Structure 1
Amino acid sequence: MKEQLARNIHNYRKEKGMTQEELAQAVGVSFQAVSKWENAQSLPDIALLPQLARTLETGIDRLFGYASFDRSVTIYEQEYRNSGYYWGTEPNSACYEVLKRIPPVRPLKLLDVGCGEGKDAVFFARNGYHVTAFDVADAGIEKTKRLAEQARVHVEVFKADILDHRLDEHFDIVFSSGVLHYIRPELRSEIFENYKAFTNAGGLHVLNVFVEKPFIAPPPEDEPYAYSWHSGELARHYHDWLLADSSEIVFDCMSSGIPHRHAMSKLIAQKPDSSS
């Protein structure tokens, strides 16, 4: 918790263009205290948290890495409130790559980053993985719980924002589909280093991200919190892992009811096992 809070205080302060001295003055402490917070040497007094959150224009929950907003940060929050499943309930094809490469012949912990309505998380749980999942959309989390209950499996699901949440427990598999474009460019290296550090030796990351192409028009959805990725960018974060797949695809999509196309980079990377 201390490390998570330290990172978020630092990130939100930098985002506002404040120095440690300016933040210290705003909340009535010394700049040495702010430095200790950001280096995870101490925690802010609980009485300071409301003022600290107001100064950084965020919420106390977000400072600790959990999502709690009055505004929606994804255009799909409203879509997920409908009775049907916006993305359906069939698992993503990348799920089968996980099954093929690291089948659950022993207990394996899997994290689904940005689980949406839970179709992939529940698929993994049905196949014997110990699944943890998070998403920023309340409606998506509720649908994930409902889908897991219908399938009579357990998924440990919670609400968090990919920008703020960092791992503090190890997983064998990290999976994410259609979510990574919400990561701001300046946070990408830190986030992926965190995911890699908390992956067990021999573990697997199966990820994808939308990439910009000059020959493909922008999608019709207005995504105010999406950020551009470029070809090869995702793979560069895994230069020190074994890359089993770093291909690109172009596919047709009807998610908005308007025909359009996407380009997507896929990545399957395995963490080196130092014992082998």
Structure 2
Amino acid sequence: MSNFWNERYAENEYAYGIQPNQFFSESISKLPENGKILFPAEGEGRNAVFAAKNGFEVFAFDTSMEGKKKADKLANDNGVKIDYRVGILEELDFEPASFDGVVFIYSHFPKAIRATIHQQIERLLKSNGVVIFEAFSKEQLQYPSGGPKDIEMLFSEEEVKEEFKNIAFDFLKTEIIELSEGPFHQGKGSVIRFIGKKK
């Protein structure tokens, strides 16, 4: 998958724009003030940079070096610093129970490893750490607005509950939204959103 993302992010244009995801920008106040926040599969850095501009200590990771280059440029252009690491999670030396929040925005991992990664990331959260999550639902295959074409990489609410067993959900819902995020997220789409806290 890193080759796919390196090719997509190698273009000069930001694939999903430089503005933060709407749901995240509306929900950022749910994160602990000035907290240490992790952004998995962060791509070109738009959400991580937004969090840094709002006073958070920001860490991010992805498997794409091209994504990191774009994220570092965006951070520099905005006068902020983010700690962006390239690699797979278990190689990145994050400390258990060290983050105040995790923000998953379209973090679609292959089904074979997804539940394991979610559990590993849960362990990085402090007790009562906040999770903000938006990803495409399985119904997204009906829409041409972006996202994986493999239904197993998409989510149902039941899968979310199963894979985030240690999260107490403030809410969990499936919604039809209008996407306008760079060239690759445009039009009507079906997403699953939740905000919750680690038990």
With structure 2 as the length reference, what TM-score do the two structures score? 0.81
Matched, 1:243 2:172: no
Structure 1 gap ranges (5+) = 1-71
1:110-146: per-residue Cα shift (whole Å, max 9, x none)?
0111111111100101111110111122211101101
- Residue in structure 1 matched with residue 37 of structure 2 by the alignment: 110
Structure holding more strand per residue: 2
Q: Quote the RMSD (CA, aligned, Å).
A: 3.1
Structure 1 CA distance, aligned partners of 2:185 and 2:56? 36
- Residue in structure 2 matched with residue 201 of structure 1 by the alignment: 127
Q: Give the 3 Å change call, closer, same or farther, for CA 249–167 of structure 1 in structure 2.
A: farther
Match of 2:113 among 168, 175, 187: 187
Letter paired with 1:151: N
Letter paired with 2:160: L
Q: Give the 3 Å change call, closer, same or farther, for CA 214–167 of structure 1 in structure 2.
A: same
Matched, 1:211 2:110: no
Q: Is the 8 A contact 2:15 2:184 kept in 1?
A: no
1:183-240: per-residue Cα shift (whole Å, max 9, x none)?
32x4333222221122111111111221212982576777579724323311333344
Listed as ranges, the matches of 1:1-276 within 5 Å are: 73=2, 75-104=4-33, 107-161=34-88, 168-169=94-95, 170-180=98-108, 182-184=109-111, 186-213=112-139, 216-217=142-143, 227-253=153-179, 261-272=188-199
- Residue in structure 2 matched with residue 15 of structure 1 by the alignment: none
Secondary structure of the residue that 1:232 maps to in structure 2? helix
Structure 2 CA distance, aligned partners of 1:86 and 1:155? 20
Secondary structure of the residue that 1:116 maps to in structure 2? coil
Secondary structure of the residue that 1:213 maps to in structure 2? helix
Q: Is the 8 A contact 1:111 1:131 kept in 2?
A: yes
Q: Is the 8 A contact 2:146 2:184 kept in 1?
A: no
Structure 1 CA distance, aligned partners of 2:28 and 2:72? 22
Q: Give the 3 Å change call, closer, same or farther, for CA 98–74 of structure 1 in structure 2.
A: farther
Structure 1 CA distance, aligned partners of 2:132 and 2:72? 23
Q: Is the 8 A contact 1:232 1:265 kept in 2?
A: no
Secondary structure of the residue that 1:251 maps to in structure 2? strand
Moved over 6 A (4+): 218-222
Structure 1 CA distance, aligned partners of 2:184 and 2:82? 31
Letter paired with 1:171: F
Kindly state the Cα deviation for residue 172 of structure 1 after the two structures are TM-superposed.
0.8
Percent identity of equivalent pairs: 20
Letter paired with 1:213: E
With structure 1 as the length reference, what TM-score do the two structures score? 0.61
- Residue in structure 2 matched with residue 10 of structure 1 by the alignment: none
For these two proteins, the number of residue pairs brought into alignment is: 196
Kindly state the Cα deviation for residue 167 of structure 1 after the two structures are TM-superposed.
6.2
* Structure with bigger RCO (C-alpha 8 Å, 6+ apart): 2
